[in-house]
Amino acid sequence: MREILKNYKTIIGQIKNYEKEFSKTSKNPKLIAVSKTFEANVVKIVLNLGHRIFGENKVQEALEKWPDLRKEFKNIELHLIGGLQSNKVKQALEIFDVIQTVDREKIALKIRSSLDQAFQKKKHKFFVQVNTGNEIQKSGIKIDETEEFVKWCKEDKNLNVVGLMSIPPINEVSSLHFNILKELSNKCGLEEVSMGMTSDYKEAIQFGSTFLRIGSGIFGERD
């Protein structure tokens, strides 16, 4: 518990320092505490500090963990940052406020259909995931297809797309991909950019990230 408290306060302090260091380009990013694989009693340590923005990778895990936490703690904003299967869309819309991994037409169509059927009163936000490294094994829209896809999601399907998200290749310099994503977001007219994790959030702040996804830096290494 003490280690998590220490980690969280350290991360918050470093974010503030980097915001000052890169004041010309920083967008004062919000911290998403990535709580995937960690049980509710561990997550409560950060919740008790007043933090309210969290990220999960799997729909089923979120459904098991967060309903009870939402009853105990108010104003939680839960982000899905892992891949979304079409058969999990309805469940994802039930538990998540923000889905950051809209990455193909099939998912966008399924989201639109589910919103029309059952979620008209809940105001979800969506990010389009971009495969900036053009990696075969990784999800995401191709760079040269992003503008058209975002426009289609927003104008044709009336989805509340607010930003772009990416995960840079592990063997490449993150800042190159952060720059690509930031330029793409500007071209698409989107305000939010979700980029930067435990290993590269300093560079993400420099390149104008608005959401940082930090897990192990707060909760420690996962099993």
Show the domains of the chain with their CATH numbers.
Answer: 2-219 (3.20.20.10)
pLDDT tens digits for range 116-160? 887 766 789 999 999 999 888 888 999 999 999 999 999 999 999
* 104 pLDDT higher than 80: yes
- pTM across the whole model: 0.96
Question: Cβ neighbours of residue 113 under 8 Å, at least 6 residues apart?
Answer: none
Question: Cβ neighbours of residue 48 under 8 Å, at least 6 residues apart?
Answer: none
CA–CA distance, 167 with 193 (Å, rounded to integer): 12
CA–CA distance, 56 with 38 (Å, rounded to integer): 10
Going 51 to 14 to 217 to 129, the CA torsion angle's sign is positive
Instruction: Look over the chain and give the mean of its residue pLDDT values, rounded to a whole number.
Output: 95
- DSSP, collapsed to helix, strand or coil, labels residue 55 as strand
Structure confidence at residue 23 (pLDDT): 97
Beta strands 161-165; 192-194: pairing state: parallel
* 223 pLDDT higher than 70: no
Q: If we measure between CA atoms, which residue out of 102, 97, 66, 65 comes closest to residue 82?
A: 102
CA–CA distance, 188 with 183 (Å, rounded to integer): 9
